[in-house]
Structures are given as structure tokens and as C-alpha cells.
Amino acid sequence: MLAAASNFFGFSDEAVVEKAKLKFKVSGRNIKNEGLIGTSDPYVIVSLSEDGGKSKSKVGRTDTIKNQLNPDWSNEFEIKFDRKKDQLLYFHVWDDDRMRRDESISWSSLGKCC
């Protein structure tokens, strides 16, 4: 997913897209196990910043996949991509925990650099 998205964001030698609807799904690999009993129950909150990270708005949340460290979420997300805006996509992975507050596992961002 990251390789395809990096080409879309303009990190290739081919034609550059100025505006488009970007649809994507999220997968995780080798997620850290945060489960007290069993394995992590991960979900992802996807957010978008259009001002270089100063603020962000929630795009959506995946379903929770129980006992899985290599999930392929079926949820599809869509954003309006605009090269003229300083857009960043954020992916925050959480462990769904019924006994206590959900725990942050990891996060990543994707966008233009430099």
C-alpha cells in the first residue's frame, strides 16, 4: 500500500496527479502484541491533515480484528487528494481492550516530504 501511495503522491518520474479521489484499504504486519490475555485486537483510526500536520480530522476507523497481528481490514476509505494542499494521512493503530482503556500500539504518516 505504501509503495502505490508514494507513487500517487508524486514520488515517481511519471505524470503527476493534481486532484483526485483516493480510495484505499489498510493492512498491518507484525503488529506489537499488547494483549494481556491472548493476542492484540487491533483497529486503525485514519486521519487527514491538510495543513502539514498542524490540525487533522478523522477520516474513519477500521473494524476491530480479534487476536490478529497481521490484519487485512476490509474497510475502504476515501479522501479528496489535492496536490496544492499540504496533505498528510495518519494511521494510528490501537489495541481494543474490553478490560481497560484501548492502548496505542503504533502510528505512521504518509505525505509529501521536503
- Mean predicted confidence (pLDDT) in 87-94: 96
Range from 9-13, 38-42, 75-79, 110-114 that averages highest in pLDDT: 75-79
Closest CA to 28 of 93, 95, 89: 93
Distance CA 104, CA 42 (A): 9
Helix (H, G, I), strand (E, B) or coil at 8: helix
Which range among 34-43, 45-54, 59-68, 84-93 shows the weakest confidence by mean pLDDT?
34-43
Distance CA 4, CA 108 (A): 16
3 band by pLDDT with thresholds 50, 70 and 90:
very low
114 band by pLDDT with thresholds 50, 70 and 90:
very low
Architecture per CATH, 2-111? Sandwich (2.60)
E-only strand ranges, the chain = 19-24, 42-49, 57-61, 77-82, 88-95, 103-111
